[in-house]
């Protein structure tokens, strides 16, 4: 097998080396290490491989905590010290700015850190019956596979949820038609925990009884989802409180449904909002837009500062949730929310939002290219804070802002939202020149 010295890590946490002019991406290898590797995919300009033996080990290498590491696709960086993980992600962001955007932030902030384990308050677990192959499997998908890892515990989930996995397996295996449960969505909140069962057919009376017993015994809410996410409903207990997370620094409480999008890491979410507010610096009387606002995660903290907030989101149901959250937090008079497809943003649709002093953008992985291209004479906010879950699209959109729209990239930094994974969350400040 070939042997090589690893030069760096890529955006997926793979070691990168070059052999005979071809890039080789080696899973499980770290910079500075000498490794023996096996190629599992070969293309004319690159190869994908896996480390099979570490000949010279990095000082930043640690022993993976999970017994499924290397099989389960949920985590890919457990072999790297958590502090070093954040440093790698910071470099991924900086490299994206340099190579894609051809720009450099004036200031790089220290990474935002939080717990390295037991942080994942949201998860979607797949379920699969395998007759003759060990029976039922519940877990995340295996790496590079549609198969499901045989997950008996998970250290990135809260301890009380990880401890319930064997009981959950027992529950599903005991159903009359366990193959009709396709997945389970978990949502842990300050007010309770919900398990959403995606049931492909109605539950029998006996199975409903089993679900109630599980909910009572585990002290959780059981929801059923017979169709699309909006069809999910609380099954038991009927009188359970709404799920909610709090933002104590801004005196805000956010109600949500377990199938709504919310950040998986509540600790980092609070710190990320603090960083975004410091960069945005909202002032009383300013009119600020929050695009891709969701259920108001940034909108309500901005409004708490005294600014007027215009939130725009593609999902009608999330807009309704944002309106309800604004009312329940006493912020209805300082907020307005609209449903619109921001991927179709134009100069006219952006101008229709009225005068905007500042702008916060928090798009999905696809980024906000239509939004930044729509900025023009009618709408040029003095300050833009861009929260991103994809360094490549952030850098692409930053290039438009800097090279075409007359903004400067003042500050940027990452938040380690998903420790043990290669996921990079970042926040950047742009100011009008």
- Look up the CATH number of the domain holding residue 202: 2.40.50.1070
Do residue 167 and residue 99 come from a single domain? no
Q: Are residues 339 and 220 in the same domain?
A: no
- Per-residue pLDDT at 348 exceeds 90: yes
Query: Is residue 256 included in any domain, yes or no?
Result: no
**Nearest residue to 165 (alpha-carbon basis) of 127, 193, 138:** 138
- Using one digit for the tens of pLDDT, what is the confidence trace for 395-433? 999 999 999 999 999 999 999 999 999 999 999 999 999
Show binding-site residues for S-adenosyl-L-methionine.
263, 292, 297, 313, 341, 362
Torsion on CA atoms 2, 84, 78, 220, rounded to nearest 10: -160
Q: How many domains does the chain fold into? A: 3
143 and 175 belong to one structural domain: yes
DSSP 8-class letter at 97: I
What are the binding residues? 66, 72, 75, 154, 263, 292, 297, 313, 341, 362
Same domain, 162 and 105: no
Q: Nearest CA to 171 among 240, 217, 130? A: 217
* Residue 327 clears pLDDT 90, i.e. is over it: yes
Which pTM does this prediction carry?
A: 0.95
Sequence-distant (6+) residues with CB within 8 A of 146 are none
Strand-pair partners of 310: 289, 336
- Once rounded to an integer, what is the mean pLDDT over residues 350-374? 97
Task: Give the pair of three-digit tokens for residue 321.
Answer: 């949730």
41 and 23, same structural domain? yes
Distances in whole angstroms, Cα of residue 352 to Cα of each of 141, 182, 189, 385, 401: 44, 43, 36, 20, 20
pLDDT band, very low/low/confident/very high, at 261 (cuts 50, 70, 90): very high
Pairing of strands 46-56, 22-27: parallel
Q: Note whether 227 and 272 are same-domain residues.
A: no
The answer to whether residue 332 is domain-embedded is yes
Residue 312: inside a domain? yes
Rounded to whole angstroms, what are the CA distances from 141 to 14, 72, 378? 18, 6, 47
Binding residues for [4Fe-4S] cluster: 66, 72, 75, 154
Residue 258 included in any domain: no
- Helix or strand or coil: residue 309? strand
Question: Both 236 and 209 in a single domain?
Answer: yes
Q: What is the DSSP string of 334-380?
A: GEEEEE--GGG--HHHHHTT---SEEEE---TT--HHHHHH-BTTB-
Q: Is residue 67 part of a domain?
A: no
Residues 170 and 223 in one domain: yes
Among candidate residues 61, 81, 107, the one where a domain is terminated: 61
- Same-domain status, 292 and 421: yes
Please indicate, yes or no, whether residues 44 and 109 belong to a single structural domain of this protein.
no
Residues 111, 233, single domain; the answer is: no
Rg over CA atoms, the chain? 23
Is pLDDT of 133 > 70?
no
Both tokens of 281, joined, read 């610096």
Q: Quickly state the pLDDT bin for 146 (edges 50, 70, 90).
A: confident
| Res 130: pLDDT | 82
Average pLDDT over residues 355-384: 97
Range of the domain at 129: 122-243
Q: Is residue 133 part of a domain?
A: yes
33 within domain boundaries? yes
Same domain, 109 and 128: no
**Which residue numbers are catalytic?**
389
Residue 132 has pLDDT above 70, yes or no: no
The pair of structure tokens assigned to 100 is 């894609």
Q: For residue 129, is it within any domain?
A: yes
Task: Tell which of 45, 61, 77 closes a domain.
Answer: 61
- The token pair at 350 is 């952006």
Average pLDDT over residues 6-15: 92
């Amino acid at each position: 097998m070939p042997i090589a010295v690893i030069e760096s890590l890529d955006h997926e946490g793979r070691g990168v080396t070059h052999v005979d002019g071809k890039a080789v991406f080696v899973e499980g290898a770290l910079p500075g290490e000498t490794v023996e590797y096996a190629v599992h995919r070969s293309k004319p300009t690159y190869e994908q491989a896996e480390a099979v033996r570490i000949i010279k080990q990095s000082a930043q290498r640690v022993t993976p905590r999970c017994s499924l590491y290397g099989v389960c696709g949920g985590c890919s960086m457990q072999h790297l010290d958590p502090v070093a993980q954040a440093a790698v992600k910071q470099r991924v962001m900086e490299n994206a700015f340099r190579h894609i955007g051809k720009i450099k932030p004036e200031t790089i902030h220290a990474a935002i850190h939080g717990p390295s384990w037991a942080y994942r308050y949201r998860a979607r677990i797949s379920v699969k019956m395998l007759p003759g192959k060990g029976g039922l499997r519940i877990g995340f998908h295996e790496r590079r596979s549609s198969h499901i890892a045989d997950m008996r515990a998970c250290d990135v989930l809260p301890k009380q949820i990880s401890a319930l996995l064997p009981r959950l397996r027992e529950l599903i295996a005991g159903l009359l038609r366990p193959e009709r449960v396709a997945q389970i969505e978990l949502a842990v909140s300050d007010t309770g925990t919900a398990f959403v069962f995606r049931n492909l057919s109605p539950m029998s009376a006996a199975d409903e009884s089993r679900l109630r017993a599980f909910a009572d015994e585990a002290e959780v809410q059981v929801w059923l989802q017979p169709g699309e996410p909006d069809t999910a409903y609380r099954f038991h207990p009927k009188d359970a409180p709404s799920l909610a997370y709090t933002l104590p620094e801004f005196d805000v409480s956010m109600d949500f449904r377990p199938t709504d999008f919310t950040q998986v890491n509540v600790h980092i979410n609070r710190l990320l909002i603090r960083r975004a507010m410091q960069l945005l610096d909202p002032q009383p009387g300013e009119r600020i837009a929050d695009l891709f606002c969701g259920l108001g995660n940034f909108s309500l903290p901005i409004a708490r500062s005294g600014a007027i907030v215009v939130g725009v989101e593609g999902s009608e149901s999330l807009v309704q949730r944002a309106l309800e959250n604004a009312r329940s937090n006493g912020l209805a008079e300082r907020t307005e929310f609209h449903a619109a497809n921001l991927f179709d943003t134009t100069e006219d649709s952006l101008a229709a939002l009225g005068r905007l002093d500042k702008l916060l953008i928090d798009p999905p992985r696809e980024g906000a290219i239509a939004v930044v291209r729509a900025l023009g004479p009618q709408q040029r906010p003095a300050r833009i804070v861009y929260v991103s879950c994809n360094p490549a699209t952030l850098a692409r959109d930053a290039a438009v802002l800097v090279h075409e729209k007359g903004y400067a990239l003042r500050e940027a930094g990452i938040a380690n939202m998903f420790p043990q994974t290669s996921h990079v969350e970042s926040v950047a400040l742009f100011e009008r020149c």
